[in-house]
Chains A and B, each alone.
Chain A
Amino acid sequence: MAKTHPRNTYRVDETLEEPFNLRHLLRAGSYIKKYGKKMILALTLSIFGAMAALCAPKITKEALDVVIPAKDKAGLNRLLLLLILAYGVSILFFTIRQHIMERTSQDIVYDIRKDLFAHLQKLPFQYYGDRPHGKILIRVVNYVNSVCDMLSNGLINAILEIINLIFIVIFMFTTDVKLSLVVITGVPVLAVFLFWIKAHQRKAWRLVSNKNSNLNAYLQENIVGAKITQIFAREEENAAIFEDLSNDCRKTWMGAVRYTNSVWPGIDSISVFVRGAILVVGLLLFVEGQETLGAIVAISSYASRFWQPIMNLGNIFNNFINNMAYLERIFETIDEPVEIKDKEGATDIGRIKGEVEFQHVSFSYEEGKEVLHDVSFKVTPGQSIALVGPTGAGKSTIVSLISRFYNLDSGKILIDGQDISEVTLRSLRSQMGIMLQDSFIFSGTVEDNIRYGKLDATSEEIQKASVTVCADAFISKMQKGYQTEVKEPDPALLVLDEATSSIDVQTERALQKGLDAMLKGRTSFIIAHRLSTIKNCDQIMYIDHGGITEAGTHEELMAKKGQYYHLYMSQL
């Protein structure tokens, strides 16, 4: 349970586990691979489409050089038809390509988002506790959207431009090697320029993503906590904090676009020097009789065609660099290790009878701070166990360990004699009925939610009611889901963690009847402060200082005149 990082807040930029590298690139590749055939088809169509379009200048040249000077009307019409055909084919191919790619790019985004979300569901409480939720949210929604174009059209266009570039280089060199070399001299300069830019650009965009993430975190907390803001009349202070965060976003953005916007003008400037150099060098060589004018004309036209794809690649490069900052965050989340998962060869636990045993269980949330130390106890099927003791003593921890929400430091927990770390999580958790104290925390104003709902005492309705009571806006939306759940086998093990403390006593009493019916024959763990709730339990455990200090029935513990006795007496 070692914690590697301190909890993150909106004030602090997140650290990056692993900067973008080849592995990420391959990872991105695996998402593209699924649509490999479609991408290749789109690419092929683009190549043929481009080739068809390339025929157009040839046709025009033929018309201007031969047909028009000869005033051959029929010839002109023939060439016009050819021209229309060439464009027609190119339009057709590009339209099909667009059809394929618009779908594919959305499919890729869908896949990434799906994996990301599914992985988030596997991550433990701790992951959600360690960072503001707004920072997780921005990855699932905004970041994934951002990388959409880069992974689909960006990739295809990059390949096209590279193919284009290769052809131009070949043509250029077969025309004239010497002048081609002059054209190529621009490339190292460009490489140095891009290399310099890249280093800054990467850093700058990473900063942008961090600042946006911070803003998102603050925003989410404040929308959720709007009422708290108003109670404390903190509007102005919060607005000032938000303005600072917002300003950070603005400044880092301006810092980043400084580099991004200089890529195009930079390449443009380098290219004009190259074109100038060709003309100067060409003509000087011509004077010496080493070059023909035709070659100079050809190369200078190749030179501008050589730089066009490079400019386009520059734009794609820009896009790629910006999105790397997002992609590395997405993969960081997908790669977040799942600590609590099914062991290799984990088996189904089968129908739980309800025997629960702790064997020398020790546990800590943070390294070096043991919450439970060497806890051992055994519960026979059907017993109801009450856990009492001061807040923060570890009662909730004990019950969350039974559901294996955390892994133990040492010791074992057995249910029906089976080590819970050896069985599948699904088979274990689906048989547990849990009402956490935290479900009340986000239940919003419980009263608001159930003010229209009257709680009744019949056991069937109680089950529903306990759901209602736990229900916040969130669960109520899961309502339908819950009803399907009810059809599944009843929970074999029940955990009520402060489930009733915000309900008034009358309602609790009404609930109690239903609960009693529900508890019958099932092993149950109940955490409550109201002693009327726990008095009738089969066993009461007093938890303090990371262990069980007293255990027994109400009568036994009262007779003992220990901690429980004091607790009970203090309530009267």
Chain B
Amino acid sequence: MQKKKFPRTKLQWIWDNIAGLRIVFILAIIGTLLYNLLQLTVPFFSQMIVDRFLTGDNAAVHFQEHKGEFYTLIVAMIGFTLLRAIIVYLDCMAYEHVSQRALFRIRNYLFEKIECQDMHFYNEYRTGDLMTRLTGDLDAIRHNIAWVIRMIIECFALFTVVSIYFFSMNVKMALCIVAMAPVIFLIVFTFRKKVAPMHALLREKHAQMNTAAQENISGNRVVKAFSREDYEIEKFDQSNHDYAETNKKTRLVWVKFFPFVETCANLLPVILLWVGGTLLMKDEMTMGEYVAFSGLMWAIANPMRLLGNILNEFQRFSAAADKVMEIYYSEPSIVDAPDALDHPDRFKGKVEFRHVSFQYEDSDLPVLEDISFTAAPGETIAIMGETGCGKTSLIQLIPRFYEPTRGQVLVDDMDVSKLKLQQLRTSIGMATQDVLLYSDTIDGNIAYGDLNISKENVLKVSRYAAADEFISKMPDGYNTIVGERGVGLSGGQKQRISLARALAIRPSILILDDTTSAVDMETEKQIQKSLSELDFPCTKIIIAQRISTTKTADHILILQHGKITEQGTHEELIQKGGYYADLVALQTGKEEMVHG
């Protein structure tokens, strides 16, 4: 696993993200110190009551004579305990407040960050992995702020205060006890070294399991269609098993250290008895001091016992923070140019490709080679070609999802890389091959690109897309909720909603990537007709398989192996007698005539 270098360390990064809350956080830390001091002083009152009124030499007489003092001590005991309880409560809430605010801030920032990433990013990171970063990993960070840091401060506070107190009482005894510290540090150091890679691995296994589950759930229809449930169960079982085993191994690392730490913690009373006993015999220590040592020994032993938990949680945080910061500091490569042109007005819709070549970063083969064509405003361009010839890649260059390796893509004679992404993309309506609808109402799905669209316009674009008829027949009409990815609708219905969604933003440029493939012929004709009668100016770039779609286009491009091999109108291309002419013959059922 390669370690990424971030501009800030993990703790600095957290400090950055609690800006505005730092005072609360510092107050919380002071609160922790305060309640730990109270933790040490409250037993003092009860001890005093016992000493003076119960076990003292003339306790009985003392009570009769000093009733006032007795009740003062009782009230002090109760009062300070209540005070401690209140401080503990407020302190915990302060940590929760800071950690939740930080979580809120980081989570929103990450979401925005993920949203603006380019397509390379999405090819690299799987959905389940990203989800792990925004859920489990962020929770580890929250837990670090809310609990781990508090515990570290608590342990240090207790240890320091009690050590100072011990030294003030009896240096020899205190030295013997504090001598344990280097041993503990050694254990901490070795443990951290051993457990850190385990937590990184565990986090990976967690992400893998999340990805496996996520892909299974998203792909439930395929799983059923291929009757692959048993295979899927077996596959997931592997992830589940891996995760459980890694978790065991990680936790067992501490179990290995546990006897040593526990020995150290338990050695404290042994040392006390041994050294203290000897000192008592030599009269170098009083009984009162011995009792004080013994009574406060927990303040040294408890932090030791908590060590494993704290360190484990801290390492979990560390592994998670690496993953979160990777996204936090990642930069998309496709962003507004510093000198981007401001173009607030509606685009006319001219699209031009000038000697465009394109290749995916992770592949050696060019997808597009020297593509040049121009679509005048309002024209319809049809693109045809075999599956895999580069059609989809070509249209993805227009909204600048990818950048051409050579050449220029221009809209209204401006290079798209010089336009503001927001302005460019809002003027392009696109309906892709894979229809992705959201679990929302149909109305909400159509209005996705324009939240302020009027009811009439939703109806209008639905009619353009020949979708109004089936939508209004649904039980709740436009308010029908469709499942994730449009579950409950047929393929053709989904495509039509997706088309309506693209039209709803009244784009200057409409790009349809095989959007009507699952629509029946008659409906498609209807759609073609309404696309030619839109009530706003619009350039259409349409990828299609059917001649009926391309027949009326102003210009047809035939793409083969990433190159334009034929172009012209329907009639021109038929006359030319090439690929397109073959296609026409094939589709109109005159196959035999051509190939017979």
- B494: A residues at CB distance < 8 A: 441
Known contacts A106-B244, A216-B135, A452-B363: does B122 contact A283 (CB below 8 Å)?
A: no
A 85-112 to B, binary, CB cutoff 8 A, 1 in contact else 0 = 0010011101100110011001101100
Check: B161 CB closer than 8 A to any chain A CB.
Answer: no
How far does the alpha carbon of A107 sit from the alpha carbon of B426 in the complex, in Å? 52
**Contact at A450–B116, with CB atoms within 8 Å?**
no
Of A56, A59, A296, A472, which is within 8 A of B54 by CB?
Answer: A296
A 215-242 to B, binary, CB cutoff 8 A, 1 in contact else 0 = 0110111111111111111110111001
How far does the alpha carbon of A192 sit from the alpha carbon of B555 in the complex, in Å? 80
Q: Which residue of A lies closest to B49 (CB)?
A: A279
How far does the alpha carbon of A113 sit from the alpha carbon of B236 in the complex, in Å? 10
Q: Which residue of B lies closest to A572 (CB)?
A: B588
**Contact at A121–B273, with CB atoms within 8 Å?**
no
B455 → chain A closest CB, angstroms: 19
Check: B340 CB closer than 8 A to any chain A CB.
Answer: no
**Contact at A475–B523, with CB atoms within 8 Å?**
no
Known contacts A64-B290, A133-B217, A268-B81: does B519 contact A125 (CB below 8 Å)?
A: no
Of A275, A286, A429, A531, which is within 8 A of B589 by CB?
Answer: A531
Q: Which residue of A lies closest to B262 (CB)?
A: A91
**Contact at A250–B101, with CB atoms within 8 Å?**
yes
Q: Which of B218-226, B370-378, B405-413 contacts A (4 or more CB under 8 A)?
A: B218-226
Q: Which residue of A lies closest to B426 (CB)?
A: A233
B512 → chain A closest CB, angstroms: 12
**Contact at B421–A233, with CB atoms within 8 Å?**
yes
- B578: A residues at CB distance < 8 A: none
**Contact at B485–A442, with CB atoms within 8 Å?**
yes
Of B215, B233, B425, B438, which is within 8 A of A230 by CB?
Answer: B425
Q: Which residue of B lies closest to A212 (CB)?
A: B135
**Contact at A434–B226, with CB atoms within 8 Å?**
yes
Chain B interface, DSSP helix/strand/loop, else mixed:
helix
Q: Which of A194-202, A352-360, A500-508 contacts B (4 or more CB under 8 A)?
A: A500-508
How far does the alpha carbon of A91 sit from the alpha carbon of B260 in the complex, in Å? 9
Chain A stretch 53-108: residues in CB contact (< 8 A) with chain B: 56, 59-60, 63-64, 67-68, 71, 73, 76, 79-80, 83-84, 87, 90-92, 94-95, 98-99, 102-103, 106-107
Q: Which of B9-17, B181-189, B346-354, B429-437 contacts A (4 or more CB under 8 A)?
A: B429-437
- B60: A residues at CB distance < 8 A: 286, 293
How far does the alpha carbon of A566 sit from the alpha carbon of B525 in the complex, in Å? 13
A85 → chain B closest CB, angstroms: 11
- A95: B residues at CB distance < 8 A: 255, 258-259, 262
Check: B568 CB closer than 8 A to any chain A CB.
Answer: no
- B438: A residues at CB distance < 8 A: 221, 225
Query: How many residues in A have their beta carbons less than 8 Å from beta carbons of B?
Result: 175
**Contact at A392–B111, with CB atoms within 8 Å?**
no
Most B CB contacts (10 A, CB to CB) among A90, A503, A535 go to A503
Of B255, B449, B545, which is within 8 A of A505 by CB?
Answer: B545
Q: Which residue of B lies closest to A450 (CB)?
A: B388
Check: A561 CB closer than 8 A to any chain B CB.
Answer: no
**Contact at A63–B273, with CB atoms within 8 Å?**
yes
A201 → chain B closest CB, angstroms: 15
How far does the alpha carbon of A145 sit from the alpha carbon of B399 in the complex, in Å? 42
**Contact at B270–A87, with CB atoms within 8 Å?**
yes
How far does the alpha carbon of A128 sit from the alpha carbon of B492 in the complex, in Å? 20
Check: A4 CB closer than 8 A to any chain B CB.
Answer: no
**Contact at A117–B233, with CB atoms within 8 Å?**
yes
Known contacts A232-B505, A238-B115, A426-B227: does B222 contact A103 (CB below 8 Å)?
A: no
- A567: B residues at CB distance < 8 A: 520-522
How far does the alpha carbon of A90 sit from the alpha carbon of B270 in the complex, in Å? 14
**Contact at B108–A246, with CB atoms within 8 Å?**
yes
Known contacts A447-B393, A501-B517, A571-B548: does B232 contact A219 (CB below 8 Å)?
A: no
Check: B55 CB closer than 8 A to any chain A CB.
Answer: yes
- A132: B residues at CB distance < 8 A: 439, 484
Q: Which of B23-31, B92-100, B162-170 contacts A (4 or more CB under 8 A)?
A: B92-100
- A532: B residues at CB distance < 8 A: 586-587, 589, 591
Chain B stretch 219-271: residues in CB contact (< 8 A) with chain A: 219-229, 231-233, 235-237, 240-241, 244-245, 247-248, 251-252, 255, 258-259, 262-263, 266, 269-270
- B521: A residues at CB distance < 8 A: 529, 531, 567, 570-571
- A531: B residues at CB distance < 8 A: 521, 589
**Contact at B520–A239, with CB atoms within 8 Å?**
no
Check: A435 CB closer than 8 A to any chain B CB.
Answer: yes
Chain B stretch 547-596: residues in CB contact (< 8 A) with chain A: 548, 579, 582-583, 586-589, 591
Of A216, A246, A477, which is within 8 A of B104 by CB?
Answer: A246
**Contact at A254–B434, with CB atoms within 8 Å?**
no
- B49: A residues at CB distance < 8 A: 279
**Contact at B281–A114, with CB atoms within 8 Å?**
no
Interface Cβ pair total, 8 Å cutoff:
460
Of B82, B269, B451, which is within 8 A of A272 by CB?
Answer: B82
How far does the alpha carbon of A473 sit from the alpha carbon of B219 in the complex, in Å? 10
Q: Which of B126-134, B457-465, B532-540 contacts A (4 or more CB under 8 A)?
A: B126-134
Check: A138 CB closer than 8 A to any chain B CB.
Answer: yes
Q: Which of B83-91, B151-159, B192-200, B317-325 contacts A (4 or more CB under 8 A)?
A: B83-91
Check: A280 CB closer than 8 A to any chain B CB.
Answer: yes
**Contact at B484–A272, with CB atoms within 8 Å?**
no
Q: Which of A159-167, A255-263, A415-423, A517-525 contacts B (4 or more CB under 8 A)?
A: A255-263
Known contacts A446-B387, A505-B587: does B448 contact A254 (CB below 8 Å)?
A: no
**Contact at B518–A7, with CB atoms within 8 Å?**
no
Most B CB contacts (10 A, CB to CB) among A141, A222, A228, A481 go to A141
Of A224, A266, A447, which is within 8 A of B218 by CB?
Answer: A224
**Contact at A7–B481, with CB atoms within 8 Å?**
yes
Check: A193 CB closer than 8 A to any chain B CB.
Answer: no
Known contacts A114-B240, A265-B88, A429-B227: does B119 contact A504 (CB below 8 Å)?
A: no
**Contact at B386–A506, with CB atoms within 8 Å?**
yes
**Contact at A130–B74, with CB atoms within 8 Å?**
no
Check: B303 CB closer than 8 A to any chain A CB.
Answer: no
Check: B491 CB closer than 8 A to any chain A CB.
Answer: yes
How far does the alpha carbon of A251 sit from the alpha carbon of B285 in the complex, in Å? 55
Known contacts A73-B281, A242-B111, A498-B491: does B387 contact A447 (CB below 8 Å)?
A: yes
Check: A451 CB closer than 8 A to any chain B CB.
Answer: yes
Check: A366 CB closer than 8 A to any chain B CB.
Answer: yes
**Contact at A369–B475, with CB atoms within 8 Å?**
yes
A509 → chain B closest CB, angstroms: 7
How far does the alpha carbon of A442 sit from the alpha carbon of B223 in the complex, in Å? 12
Q: Which residue of A lies closest to B111 (CB)?
A: A242
Check: A448 CB closer than 8 A to any chain B CB.
Answer: yes
Known contacts A132-B484, A392-B493: does B587 contact A94 (CB below 8 Å)?
A: no
**Contact at A239–B111, with CB atoms within 8 Å?**
yes
- A339: B residues at CB distance < 8 A: none
Known contacts A233-B421, A447-B393, A532-B589: does B115 contact A455 (CB below 8 Å)?
A: no
How far does the alpha carbon of A469 sit from the alpha carbon of B387 in the complex, in Å? 10
How far does the alpha carbon of A228 sit from the alpha carbon of B435 in the complex, in Å? 9
Of B114, B240, B587, which is within 8 A of A223 by CB?
Answer: B114
A234 → chain B closest CB, angstroms: 7
- B97: A residues at CB distance < 8 A: 254
**Contact at B46–A275, with CB atoms within 8 Å?**
yes
Check: A565 CB closer than 8 A to any chain B CB.
Answer: no
Check: A290 CB closer than 8 A to any chain B CB.
Answer: no
Q: Which residue of A lies closest to B267 (CB)?
A: A87
**Contact at B225–A435, with CB atoms within 8 Å?**
yes
A119 → chain B closest CB, angstroms: 10
Chain B stretch 387-414: residues in CB contact (< 8 A) with chain A: 387-388, 390-393, 399, 401
Beyond A64-B290, A128-B487, A129-B483, 17 additional contacts (C-beta under 8 Å) are A91-B263, A95-B259, A99-B252, A113-B240, A221-B439, A227-B401, A228-B436, A237-B451, A239-B112, A268-B88, A391-B519, A429-B224, A443-B434, A447-B388, A474-B219, A502-B545, A532-B591
Q: List 11 A-B contacts (CB under 8 A).
A: A7-B483, A91-B262, A102-B251, A254-B96, A389-B520, A437-B518, A447-B390, A504-B545, A506-B583, A529-B518, A529-B521
